[in-house]
Amino acid sequence: MTAVPTESEAAGGTSTKPPPAIEADPHNPLHNAFWRRDRRVVDEDLKQACSRPLTFYPGFEFTGDLESVSSPGAWFVTRHSTILEVSRNPQIYSSSSGVTINDFPPEFNEYFNSIIAMDDPRHARLRKLVSAGFTPRMLARLEDSVQDQARLIVDEVCERGECDFVTDVAARLPLRIVCDLMGIPASEHDFVFDQSNVILGAADEEYVPEFGDFVTAILMAGEALSNLMDEVAESKVGMDTGDLTSLLVNAEVDGERLTRAELASFFVLLVVAGNETTRNAISWGLVHLTDNPDQRKIWTDDFDGVAHSAVEEIVRIASPVTYMRRTVLSDTVLEGQKIDEGDMVVMNYLCANRDESVFDDPLKFDVLRDPNPHVGYGGPGPHFCLGAHLARREIKVMFREIFERIGDIHATGEPVPLSSSFIHGIKHLPAEFTPSKPVGTSA
DSSP string, 14-43: EEE-PPP--S--TT-TTSHHHHTS-HHHHH
- Give Cβ neighbours of residue 379 (< 8 Å, ≥ 6 apart): 83, 84, 86, 87, 88, 347, 349
The region that residue 255 occupies, defined by phi over 0 for left and psi between -120 and 50 for alpha, beta otherwise, is left
For 150, the enclosing helix (H) or strand (E) is: helix 136-157
The pLDDT of residue 24 is 53
Interior/surface letters 178-196, b for 16+ CB within 10 angstroms, e for the rest:
bbbbbbbeeeebeebbebb
Q: Mean pLDDT, to the nearest integer, of 185-213?
A: 81
Count of beta carbons in the 10 Å neighbourhood of residue 362: 22
What is the model's pTM? 0.89
The Cβ-side half-sphere exposure at 307, using a 13 Å CA radius, reads: 14
- Give Cβ neighbours of residue 235 (< 8 Å, ≥ 6 apart): none
Tens digits of residue pLDDT in 337-388: 999 999 999 999 999 999 999 999 999 999 999 999 999 999 999 999 988 9
Domains by residue range for the chain, with CATH: 7-432 (1.10.630.10)
The pLDDT of residue 388 is 92
Which of 400, 396, 404 lies closest to 308, judged by CA?
Answer: 396
Across all residues in the chain, what is the average pLDDT?
Answer: 86
Q: Note whether 385 and 391 are within 8 A (CB).
A: yes
Sign of CA dihedral 409, 188, 376, 219: positive
Q: Mean pLDDT, to the nearest integer, of 313-318?
A: 98
The pLDDT of residue 36 is 79
The pLDDT-based confidence of 419 (bands split at 50, 70, 90) is confident
Phi, psi at 21, each rounded to 5°: -105, 145
